């Protein structure tokens, strides 16, 4: 489907991030946009979770809600042991420093009037850094993201390339010594030649700084390569949670299979949905289909799918699928 449930949450008590029943809705004229509907996530230390889905399925809304920017309509977000929902502003700023977000468009994420050294230092007041210590700290961070401090520290964003701007954004996040990094389509606005460099940098950064990462994208190949586990979203709901290793052959949900058929290297035989996918317009998040939200495009849909929302079920170890009609 596109269904709900928490069966995929692991019992580990050492979680970097726990999200339960996240709902994000936007009141608009004519109704309510159901951007994220009952999403649950757990992230272990040093793990990367990919979130994959088509444009408009709620990936960025979910990422921003984790950051409490703005807070979700309902649901719980726990960073380590700290429940973020409902914290007072000062406590929220301190707790949130441990979770940083890298945006899709690095140029607009940076204040055009500020110099690189000030952009990287933006959050540092919390730690009370000043003087030479701070200058050295910033130079070290710039070096660690592959920028030469002597060249870039006094430049403003318009004097940098898109890839350099994204490196500055990564340095700025690292300045806060985060535990969790949320990357929202961090390479999709970059030149293809620079995408691989920034992806490699994120991977190296995750290892060097012991980060846990949520990596949001609509590009299956990118998400698969960088993630340990992948969560597939459709219209605000979860379809499947699957280990990335071999997912092109193991995917079970018809929507995951549909996404995989768009990857040239995926095995077509295993990946093709078992029937023609209905070519219908994407349903509106203002009025999502009843039951399984994917049913209007699903080759396997039955009456049960309209009546009953499928819950995530474990089909194979570590692989959870919300669909009434697939078997392992």
Ligand X SMILES: Nc1ncnc2c1ncn2[C@@H]1O[C@H](COP(=O)(O)OP(=O)(O)OP(=O)(O)O)[C@@H](O)[C@H]1O
Residue numbers of the site for ligand X (CB under 6 A)? 26, 28, 33, 35, 53, 55-61, 218, 285
Whichever of 25 and 309 has its CB closer to ligand X, that residue is 25
CB of 54 to ligand X, least distance (A): 7
Instruction: Count other Cβ atoms within 10 Å, centred on residue 69.
Output: 10
43 binds, among Mg ion, ligand X, none (CB under 5 to 8 A by kind): none
Can you read off the two tokens belonging to residue 129? 């850094």
Whichever of 34 and 250 has its CB closer to ligand X, that residue is 34
33 binds, among ligand X, Mg ion, none (CB under 5 to 8 A by kind): ligand X
Residues 317, 251: Cα–Cα separation, whole Å: 13
Pairing of strands 319-321, 237-243: antiparallel
Let me know: does 82 contact 93? Beta carbons within 8 Å. Answer: no
CB of 14 to ligand X, least distance (A): 29
Residues 316, 328: Cα–Cα separation, whole Å: 7
Let me know: does 227 contact 240? Beta carbons within 8 Å. Answer: no
The residue whose two tokens read 């000043």 is 130
Whichever of 51 and 323 has its CB closer to Mg ion, that residue is 51
Decide: is 61 part of the binding site for Mg ion (CB under 5 A). Answer: no
DSSP 242-287: EESTTHHHH--SHHHHHHHTTSTTS-HHHHS-SSPPP--PPPPTTS
301 binds, among ligand X, Mg ion, none (CB under 5 to 8 A by kind): none
Whichever of 28 and 269 has its CB closer to ligand X, that residue is 28
Whichever of 107 and 272 has its CB closer to ligand X, that residue is 107
Decide: is 60 part of the binding site for Mg ion (CB under 5 A). Answer: yes
CB of 7 to ligand X, least distance (A): 23
Decide: is 166 part of the binding site for Mg ion (CB under 5 A). Answer: no
Which ranges constitute the DSSP H helices of the chain? 59-66, 89-96, 106-109, 116-120, 131-144, 149-152, 162-174, 192-208, 220-226, 247-250, 254-260, 268-271, 303-307
CB of 68 to ligand X, least distance (A): 15
Whichever of 106 and 149 has its CB closer to ligand X, that residue is 106
Q: Which residues bind Mg ion (CB under 5 A)?
A: 60
């Amino acid at each position: 489907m596109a269904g709900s449930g928490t069966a995929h949450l692991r019992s580990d008590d050492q979680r970097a991030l726990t999200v339960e029943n996240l709902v994000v809705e936007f009141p608009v004229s004519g109704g309510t946009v159901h951007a994220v509907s009952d999403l649950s996530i757990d992230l272990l230390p040093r793990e990367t979770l990919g979130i994959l889905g088509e444009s408009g399925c709620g990936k960025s809304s979910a990422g921003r809600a984790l950051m409490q920017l703005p807070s979700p309509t309902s649901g719980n977000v726990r960073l380590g042991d700290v429940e973020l929902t409902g914290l007072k502003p000062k406590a929220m700023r301190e707790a949130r420093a441990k979770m940083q977000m890298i945006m899709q468009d690095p140029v607009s994420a940076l204040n055009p009037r500020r110099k690189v050294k000030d952009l990287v230092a933006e959050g540092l007041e919390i730690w009370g850094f000043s003087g030479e210590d701070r200058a050295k700290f910033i130079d070290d961070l710039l070096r660690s993201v592959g920028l030469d401090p002597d060249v870039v520290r006094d430049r403003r964003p318009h004097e940098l390339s898109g890839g350099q701007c994204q490196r500055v954004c990564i340095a700025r996040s690292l300045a806060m010594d985060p535990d969790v990094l949320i990357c929202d389509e961090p390479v999709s606005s970059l030149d293809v030649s620079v995408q691989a460099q920034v992806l490699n940098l994120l991977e190296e950064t995750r290892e060097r700084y012991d980060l846990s990462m949520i990596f949001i994208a609509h590009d299956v190949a990118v998400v698969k390569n960088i993630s340990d586990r992948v969560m597939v979203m459709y219209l605000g709901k979860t379809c499947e949670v699957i280990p990335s290793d071999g997912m092109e052959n193991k995917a079970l949900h018809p929507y995951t299979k549909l996404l995989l058929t768009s990857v040239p290297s995926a095995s077509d035989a295993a990946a093709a949905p078992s029937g023609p996918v209905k070519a219908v317009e994407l349903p509106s998040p203002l009025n999502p289909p009843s039951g399984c939200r994917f049913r209007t495009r699903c080759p396997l849909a039955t009456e049960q799918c309209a009546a009953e929302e499928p819950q995530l079920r474990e089909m194979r170890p570590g692989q959870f699928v919300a669909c009434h009609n697939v078997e392992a």
